[in-house]
Structure 1
Amino acid sequence: MDSATGLLNVIDVEATCWAGEPPPGAVSEIIEIGLTVVDLDTGERVARHRILVRPARSAVSAFCTELTGLTQAEVDTGVRFSEACRLLAAEHRAGSRPWASWGDYDRHQFTRQCLATGTEYPFGSRHTNAKLVFTEAHGLRKRPGMAQALRIAGLPLEGRHHRGEDDAWNIAALILGLAEDGAWPGASAP
């Protein structure tokens, strides 16, 4: 945790995607970074952020727009990926604050894209796979998607599913529920 404060960054990304194979030369690139800051000490979601990222080697497909609601015109207003990583490090303490995501996709996508673009990886090593923690805490055999986990936890889906900002907010709610039950790493039940 953020040493004195118990803060955790919850990250969810959306990336360019296609119904089938990507067009020749195109690669999956982050187009939105959703970030919710959770205070594990107070049990609250304390900040909500969205960074739009302009893709450099792909375009937003009709399938991607249908899934995420993001359009090419919208992401064209975003920052370059390297600038998004700089913002994460400078404004959101990504290098020193622990972080979590639903599964490992987000962590792997950042790793791949940083390597491919020569961008410094913005996060520290303290990552928690919230999907794995949730699965173990609820004694499930299969790892649920975020929307299914919300149903299991009796929580509402707030906003639009597959929108990074909204998904990070919802994942944060799941994490707070796990922390309240003493199931989040480092948390103790009241």
Structure 2
Amino acid sequence: MKTKMETTNEILIVDLEATCWENDRIPVGQKVDIIEIGICELNLTTKIISKKQSIYVIPERSEINSFCTKLTGITPQLIEEQGIYFDEACEKIQDEYQSANLTWAGFGNFDKEQIFEQCDWLGIEPPFSYDYLNVMEEFRNHFKLQKMIGLKRALEYLKMDFEGNHHSGADDAYNTAKIVRTLLG
């Protein structure tokens, strides 16, 4: 794992939840929008996972449907009560985590691609550095597996329990951080 981790003491672990549709059939006129940014910080020296939170995001190009709510637990009402716009979420992350200076990680490439796509659409700078660690790929390489496996199966492989609710951004980020901590030794 060659990253900025050699020069900093923290890595941010991010997991997104986004608008989704059954069978990935995106309705005409809608685009995938981030609706939750789950984030936590892993201290590379102490191996302590901290600052776990969910930042709920108001979708601007799509709507949350019943399939999406069933999968993520995120309702339109939750977004109405607790959501902020994506550009505000990016500012919040930069302010609270100094994220532009840190390596960040996610389980797969979806999180990175979606963050950069949505920032590009809005014409804003991404809140994260370009130093991204794909934990799914690192896991596969570390254990010399033939295929990529999902987050829950990776935890099972390590004989770890999944903590929280799958498809909750904050819980998925936390569980990904547990995997990163194991890979770092």
Q: What interval of TM-score do these two structures reach, taking the shorter chain for normalisation?
A: over 0.9
Runs of 4+ more than 2 Å apart? 1-5
Letter in 1 for 2:15: D
Counterpart pick for 2:154 among 149, 154, 163: 149
Matched with 1:120 is 125
3-state SS of the aligned residue for 2:64? coil
Answer yes or no: is 1:98 the counterpart of 2:103: yes
Alignment gaps of 5+ in structure 1? 181-190
Q: Can you list the C-alpha shifts for 1:43-79, whole angstroms capped at 9, x where unaligned?
A: 1112212100011121111111111111111112300
Answer yes or no: is 1:16 the counterpart of 2:19: yes
3-state SS of the aligned residue for 1:95? helix
Query: Does the 8 Å CA contact 2:103/2:131 hold for their aligned counterparts?
Result: yes
Matched with 2:64 is 60
Q: Give the aligned length.
A: 180
CA distance in structure 2 between the aligned counterparts of 1:114 and 1:5, rounded to whole angstroms: 25
Matched with 2:113 is 108
After TM superposition, the score normalised by the length of structure 1 is 0.91
Q: Can you list the C-alpha shifts for 1:125-162, whole angstroms capped at 9, x where unaligned?
A: 21111111111111111011000000001110000001
3-state SS of the aligned residue for 1:22? coil
Query: Does the 8 Å CA contact 1:9/1:36 hold for their aligned counterparts?
Result: yes
- CA shift for structure 1 position 4: 6.3
3-state SS of the aligned residue for 1:170? helix
In percent, how many aligned pairs have the same letter? Answer: 35
Alignment gaps of 5+ in structure 2? none
CA distance in structure 2 between the aligned counterparts of 1:3 and 1:41, rounded to whole angstroms: 11
Matched with 1:36 is 40
Which structure carries more relative contact order (alpha carbon 8 Å, separation 6+)? Answer: 2
Matched with 1:187 is none
- CA shift for structure 1 position 2: 6.4
- CA shift for structure 1 position 88: 1.3
CA distance in structure 2 between the aligned counterparts of 1:66 and 1:98, rounded to whole angstroms: 32
Matched with 1:184 is none
Greater percentage in helix:
2
After TM superposition, the score normalised by the length of structure 2 is 0.93
Answer yes or no: is 1:75 the counterpart of 2:67: no
CA distance in structure 2 between the aligned counterparts of 1:75 and 1:32, rounded to whole angstroms: 9
